[in-house]
Amino acid sequence: GENVEQHPSTLSVQEGDSAVIKCTYSDSASNYFPWYKQELGKRPQLIIDIRSNVGEKKDQRIAVTLNKTAKHFSLHITETQPEDSAVYFCAASIQNNNNDMRFGAGTRLTVKP
> Which residues contact other proteins (rule: CB under 8 A)?
32, 34, 36, 42-46, 49, 89, 91, 93, 95-96, 98-106
Tell me the closest approach of the beta carbon of residue 52 to other proteins, in angstroms. 13
Nearer to other proteins, 43 or 113 (CB): 43
User: In the complex, what is the shortest distance from the CB of residue 74 to other proteins, in angstroms, rounded to a whole number?
Assistant: 18
Nearer to other proteins, 77 or 113 (CB): 77
Q: What is the 3-state secondary structure (H, E, C) of 46-101?
A: EEEEEECCCCEEEECCEEEEEECCCCEEEEEECCCCHHHCEEEEEEEECCCCCCCC
CB of 108 vs other proteins, minimal distance in Å: 9
d(CA 73, CA 64): 7
Residue type, 107: T
